[in-house]
Amino acid sequence: MTVNSATTTPTLPGTGTVRLAAESVSLAYDDRVVVRDLDLELTDGSFTAVVGPNGCGKSTLLRALGRLLRPVSGQVLLDGRAIARTPTREVARVLGLLPQTPVAPEGLTVGDLVARGRHPHQSWLRQWSRDDEAAVAEALTWTDMADLADRPVDELSGGQRQRAWISMALAQGTDLLLLDEPTTYLDLSHQIDVLELVARLHAERGRTVVVVLHDLNLAARYAQRLVAMDDGALVASGTPAEVLTEQLLADVFDLEARIVPDPVAGTPMVVPVRRLR
Amino acid sequence: MTTTERVGRPGGTVVRVGPVSGRVRWRQVAVPLGAAVAVVLLSAVSLGRGDFPIGLTDVLRALVGLGEQTQRFIVLELRAPRIAVGALVGLALGVAGALFQTSARNPLASPDVLGITQGASVGAVAAIVLGGTASGIGVPLAALLGALGTGLLLLLLAWRAGIDGYRLVLVGIALWAVAAALVDWLLTRAEIYDAASAYVWITGSLNARTWSEAVPLLVALAVLLPAALACSRVLGVVQFGDDTARGLGVRLVPTQAVVVLVAVGLTAAAVAAAGPIAYVALVVPQVAIRLTGGSRPPLLASGLLGAALVVGADLLTRTVLPQALPVGVLTAAVGAPYLLWLLVRGRRRSTL
C-alpha cells in the first residue's frame, strides 16, 4: 500500500519492537531545509532500503538516524530514548554506520581498520581485550578479509575496500547498522557482493539494517521493506511490491516504466521506458 | 598476571596485565627508543664540545658538582641549559606537529604553516623593536602571547561546528601572511641593532639560553605532554572522516578543540623559549610516520625525533660549521632534504 503523506507512521515488520524512530523530524543544513516533518519507525531485525531521486534527503535522513545531524525540530529515538541526549559512545555500541565513500588514512592496514571498530568498547587502559580480539578476528573471517588483514586499505580494489569497511562495522558489534550507498562506484558484481554480505548480516547475525540505495532493482531484491522519499518527505513505505508501482516511479522519479517480476528472485523489477517531462 | 602473545592479525604483540591491555608493534617501540638514545648521546657529546672542549670524565665530574669551577660553570650553566632547552623545544614541536597533522588530516598543518610561530615572531619582534632594549624577560613572554593569540584566532576563524582540516590550513596560511607582513613592517622601522637581534630571534636560536628558559618549558611540557599522549588513542579514530569518527563514538568537537589547544600550547611554550626553530614541527612527524610505518604520525616518536634533531643541529652549528649559525637554519637545511629523500624513495603519497 502506498502512503501518500507522512501523517501515518509506517511500522516495518520484524519482531515488533521499535529500535529506531524518527518523530516529526525536520532536517536542515544551515538555512536549507532538506527533510520536513518526517515520521519513521524501524523495528528490530528489519532490513529497510531508503530509495528516492538525487537530493530527496535520504542520506540526510540516514545521518540524522545515526546522530550525525541534529534535527531542527522533532527527535530521533534509539530504543525509546532521545538519541541527541544519549552519549555518543553509548550510541556507538548499539548503532553502527558506514558513511558514503569513507576514506581510510593512507598506510592503514585492513586489520587495523577493522580493529578501530572496537573503539567504542575500549578505554585508555583497556585497549585490546580478548573480546576485541575475538570480535575483530571473527569480523575478518566472516567478511572473507582475513587473508588481506596485513594489506593497506588504499591498495585494495573498490569492492574489497567496501568489504573491509563492512568488516569494521561488524567488529563494532552493533545491533543496528546504517549504510549510506555502500555500492557507490562499484561494478555490478561487486554491488551484488556487498549487498549479499549485508543481507547475510541481517539474516545470519540478526542485524537491523537500514541502507540507502540508488538501484531500485537491487533494493527490491535485498530489502524486506522499501521507504521511498521525494523532496524531503516520505511518500511510500511497504514491501517492495507495494512501493515499486508504475505510478510511484512516475510521481517520484519522473520515469515512465514497466514493473515486471524479477525472473530470479520474483521481486518487482523496474524496466524504464523514458523520462517524463 | 601478564600474558604476552603473538597474533597474526591485526599486527602487533598483545600485552595484557590484569584489566590493562594493548597492542605493541616493535617499530613503534624501537623508533622512540632509538631516538631517546640518540638524544642522550648527542647531549653527552654536546656537553663536552664547543669553543672550550672538555673531556668526558671532566664533564661527568662537573655534572655531579665536582671538578674545576670554570668547567662546572661551562657545563652546568652554559651548555646544559642550552641543550635542555634544545631537547625540550624539539620534543614540544615534534608532538605539536603530530597533533596538528593528525587532527587536521593534513600533513601541511604544522605551526610553521598555520602562522602560529609567525605570530610568536610578531610578539617577540614587537617587544624588541618597540620596547627598545631586548630584555630577556619581555621577549619570551611577548612571543608566548603572540603564539597563543594567533592560535586562538586560528581556532576561532577556522571553527565551523568543528574543525575542517582544509579550512584550518587555508585560514592558517592567511594568518601566516598577515603575521609575516607585520614582522616585515616592524623590522623596516627598527633601529639597526634591534633589527639584528630581532633577526636572530626569528631564525630560532639556542644561543645564551639559561635555566630560566628551560624550567618554564619543562613545566609546560609536564602538563601538556601527558594531555597529548592521553589523546593518542582517540586520534587513531579522529583521523578517519568526521562521520566515521562520530559513528565510532568520538565526541568530535570537544576532542578536536582539546587537541588543537594542546598543540598551540606546546608550540607557544617552545617558541617562547628558543624562537621559531623552522620546520621541526612540519618535517619530523612525517619522518616519524615513515620510520614507524603506521598510518599517522606517532606522538612520542615525533617528539623524541624532534629533540634529537634540534640537539644534533645545535651540536653541528657549534662545532663543525665555521660560523655559529642559529640552530633554526640547520634544522631547515637538514630536515627538509631528509623528508624529500623519504618522499622520493617511498611509495607513500604526501598525504596523511
State the Cα–Cα distance between residues B30 and B26, nearest whole angstrom.
6
The answer to whether the CB atoms of A119 and B249 lie below 8 A apart is yes
CA A251 to chain centre: 24
From the list A88, A108, A125, the residue facing B295 with the nearest CB is A108
Output the pLDDT for position A144: 92
Mean pLDDT to the nearest integer, A91-106: 91
Q: Which residues contact A132 (CB under 8 A, 6 or more apart)?
A: A115, A118, A121, A122, B21
Domain that holds residue B227: 91-278
In a domain, residue A134? The reply is no
- Do A105 and B23 lie within an 8 Å CB cutoff? no
Q: How confident is the model at residue A5 (pLDDT cuts 50, 70, 90)?
A: very low
Bridge partners of residue B350, in order along the sequence: none
Most A CBs within 10 Å, among B17, B248, B256, B289, to test the A interface: B248
Q: What is the mean pLDDT of residues A94-107?
A: 89
Residue A193 has pLDDT above 90, yes or no: yes
Least Cα distance to A17 among A79, A90, A86, A65 occurs for: A79
- Which chain A residues are Cβ-neighbours of B241 within 8 angstroms? 99, 102-103
Q: Which residues of A touch B16 (CB under 8 A)?
A: 128-130
pLDDT at site B346: 66
Distance between CA B28 and CA A58 in Å, rounded? 43
| CB-CB under 8 Å, B19 with A125 | yes
Spatial distance between the Cα atoms of A26 and A34, rounded to a whole number of angstroms: 8
As a whole number of angstroms, the distance between CA B239 and CA B245 comes to: 8
Q: How far apart are CA A148 and CA A152, in angstroms?
A: 8
* CB within 8 Å: B249 and A116: no
Q: Which of A124, A132, A155, A170 to mutate to test the interface with B (most CBs of B within 10 A)?
A: A124
Structural domain contains residue A196:
yes
A44 vs A49: CA distance, rounded Å = 15
- Give the mean model confidence (pLDDT) for residues A155-171: 93
Structure confidence by residue, pLDDT tens digits, B243-255 = 899 999 999 889 9
Q: Is B8 a residue whose pLDDT tops 70?
A: no
Q: Taking Cα atoms as reference points, which of A125, A71, A67, A75 lies closest to residue A93?
A: A67
Q: Do B250 and A104 touch (CB under 8 A)?
A: no
The pTM of the full predicted model, rounded to 2 decimals, is 0.88
**Overall number of domains in chain B:** 1
User: Alpha helices of B64-164 — where are they, by DSSP H?
Assistant: 69-72, 80-104, 116-130, 138-158
Picking from A208, A235, A204, A246, the residue whose alpha carbon sits closest to that of residue A224 is A208
User: What is the number of structural domains in chain A?
Assistant: 1
Give the span between the Cα atoms of B249 and B257, in whole angstroms. 16
Write down the pLDDT at residue B135: 52
Evaluate whether A77 touches A38 at the Cβ level (below 8 Å). no
Give me the sheet containing A95-98, strands edge to edge: A95-98, A176-180, A208-212, A47-51, A225-230, A233-238
Residue among B94, B150, B141, B140 nearest B118 (CA): B150
User: For chain A, what is the HEC assignment?
Assistant: CCCCCCCCCCECCCCCCEEEEEEEEEEEECCEEEEEEEEEEEECCCEEEEECCCCCCHHHHHHHHCCCCCCCEEEEEECCEEHHHCCHHHHHHHEEEECCCCCCCCCCEHHHHHHHCCHHHCCCCECCCHHHHHHHHHHHHHCCCHHHCCCEHHHCCHHHHHHHHHHHHHHCCCCEEEEECCCCCCCHHHHHHHHHHHHHHHHHHCCEEEEECCCHHHHHHHCCEEEEEECCEEEEEECHHHHCCHHHHHHHHCEEEEEEECCCCCCEEEEEEEECC
CATH number at residue B221: 1.10.3470.10
Strands laid side by side in the A81-82 sheet: A32-43, A18-29, A73-78, A81-82
Instruction: Indicate the average pLDDT of chain A.
Output: 91
User: Which pLDDT band, with edges at 50, 70 and 90, does A177 fall under?
Assistant: very high
A50 contacts A212 by C-beta, under 8 angstroms: yes
Among the residue ranges A69-73, A120-124, B203-207, B216-220, the one predicted with the least confidence is B203-207
Which A residues 85-124 touch B at CB under 8 Å? 88-93, 96-99, 102-112, 114-117, 119-120, 122, 124
Closest CB to A124 among B233, B240, B296: B233
Residue B70: count of CB within 10 angstroms of its CB: 11
B72 vs B80: CA distance, rounded Å: 10
The CATH number of residue A270's host domain is 3.40.50.300
Interface of chain B toward chain A, CB-CB under 8 angstroms: 7-11, 14, 16, 19-23, 105, 230, 233-234, 236-237, 239-241, 243-244, 246-251, 289, 293-296, 348-349, 351-352
CA–CA dist A52, A54 (Å, integer)? 7
- Whether residue A67 and residue B352 make contact (CB cut-off 8 A), yes or no, is no
| Alpha-carbon distances, residue B276 vs B66, B136, B148, B169 (angstroms) | 36, 16, 14, 18
Domain contains B79 = no
* ipTM of the modeled complex: 0.85
Which three three-digit cell numbers place residue B266?
606546546
CB B264 within 8 A of CB B149: no
- Cell numbers given for A45: 531485525
Task: Provide the 3-class DSSP secondary structure of residue B161.
Answer: coil
Whole-number pLDDT of residue B351: 43
Q: State the Cα–Cα distance between residues B229 and B227, nearest whole angstrom.
A: 6
Q: Residue-wise over B198-223: b if at least 16 C-beta within 10 A, else e?
A: beebbbbbbeebeeebbebbeebbee
Give a yes or no: residue B224 inside a domain: yes
Compute the distance between CA of residue A42 and CA of residue B34 in angstroms, rounded to an integer: 55
Give the whole-angstrom CA distance, residue B98 versus residue B285.
5
Calpha distance B273→B122 (Å, rounded):
15
Residue pairs between chains A and B whose CB atoms are closer than 8 Å: 114
- In which band, very low, low, confident or very high, does the pLDDT at B7 lie, cut at 50, 70 and 90? very low
Residue B9 belongs to a domain? no
Q: pLDDT tens for residues B215-247?
A: 999 999 999 999 999 998 899 898 888 889 999
Sequence-distant (6+) residues with CB within 8 A of B163 are B103, B104, B155, B256, B257, B260
- Does B9 sit within 8 Å of A146, measured CB to CB? yes
In sequence order, the 6+-apart residues with CB closer than 8 A to the CB of A199 are A47, A222
Query: pLDDT tens-digit profile of B119-148?
Result: 999 999 998 888 755 455 588 899 999 999
- Residue ranges making up the domain that contains A59: 18-102+175-275
In tens, the pLDDT along B318-345 reads 888 777 678 888 888 877 787 787 778 7
Q: What is the rounded CA–CA span in Å between residue B267 and residue B237?
A: 24
In a domain, A146, yes or no: no
Out of A63, A108, A149, the one facing B9 most closely (by C-beta) is A149
pLDDT in tens, B189-205: 888 888 888 888 888 88
Residue B337 lies in a domain: no
The alpha-carbon gap from B142 to the nearest alpha carbon of chain A, in Å, equals 37
Contact A66 B247 (CB under 8 A): yes
What stretches of chain B show up as alpha helix (H) in DSSP? 26-48, 56-63, 69-72, 80-104, 116-130, 138-158, 165-188, 192-203, 211-230, 232-238, 242-247, 252-274, 280-292, 299-319, 327-345
Whether the CB of A31 is below 8 Å from some CB of chain B: the reply is no
**Which of chain B's residues have a Cβ under 8 Å away from the Cβ of A120?**
248-249
Kindly determine whether residue A68 and residue B243, on different chains, have CB atoms separated by under 8 Å. yes
Q: Report the chain A residue with the minimal C-alpha distance to residue B252.
A: A88
For residue range A217-276, list pLDDT tens digits in order: 999 999 999 999 999 999 999 999 999 999 999 999 999 999 999 999 999 999 999 998
Q: Is residue A149, in this structure, part of any structural domain at all? A: no
In a domain, B173, yes or no: yes
Residues 6+ apart with CB under 8 A from B127: B134, B138, B139, B141, B142, B143
Q: Which among B210, B332, B336, B211 is positioned nearest to B276, based on CA atoms?
A: B332
- pLDDT above 80 for B347: no
